[in-house]
Amino acid sequence: MKDERLLRGNAHVEQARDRRFWEETPMEVIGLDHIYVTVSDFTGSEAFYDRVMSALGFRKGDKPIGGDRHAHYFNRSLQYTIRPAKDATRSHDPYATGLHHICFQVRDRAAVDEAYRLLGELEVEATEPADTTTITTRPSLRTLTVSASKSWRGRDTVRPS
């Protein structure tokens, strides 16, 4: 029965709602600890992330690793680190194999609206919030997304399919 549900559309949602699935799971990953992102323009990226990550409640460390500069942004549950790319001539293609995007989760819609307001004060271009706020940046940097928590989104919004 469980295997049949995995083959149907939205099976992951059905499975997550099935309490027996969680009781039968011997181990559960509860979150991400850290993310390392390579950037082509470390100095420009660091200036951008210093402002944005501070607005999102992250603190900063700058301990080098392997002799390379790094900027570490951390809060009580996540570390987001940027490091210089070894080959800064290649640009990132979000549709090639590898990372597409990263989405930071906040508690609720009010926090999404607050992130949007803070980014506006920093003159960071961001889309008007629907159920998420997208932080868009100049082409040499990655795009970040801030989203309301899944429990809030599931109750109060309809996401396009």
Give per-residue pLDDT as tens, 98-121: 777 777 888 888 888 888 888 889
Say which CATH number the domain at 80 has. Answer: 3.10.180.10
The highest-confidence range among 68-72, 92-96, 98-102, by mean pLDDT, is 68-72
**Which candidate, 72, 62, 41, places its Cα nearest to that of 141?**
41
Q: Are 131 and 109 in contact (CB under 8 A)?
A: yes
Residue 140 in any domain: the answer is yes
59, 87, 115 — which closes off a domain?
Answer: 87
Do 80 and 104 lie in one domain? The reply is no
pLDDT in the model for residue 30: 76
Q: What is the pTM of this model?
A: 0.70
pLDDT in the model for residue 96: 75
**Which candidate, 144, 100, 94, 141, places its Cα nearest to that of 119?**
144
Q: Are 142 and 101 in contact (CB under 8 A)?
A: yes
Does position 156 have pLDDT exceeding 50, yes or no? Answer: no
Q: Are 71 and 44 in contact (CB under 8 A)?
A: no
pLDDT in the model for residue 16: 62
Does position 56 have pLDDT exceeding 80, yes or no? Answer: yes
Structural domain that includes position 132: 99-161
CA distance 9 to 3: 13
Total count of domains within the chain: 2
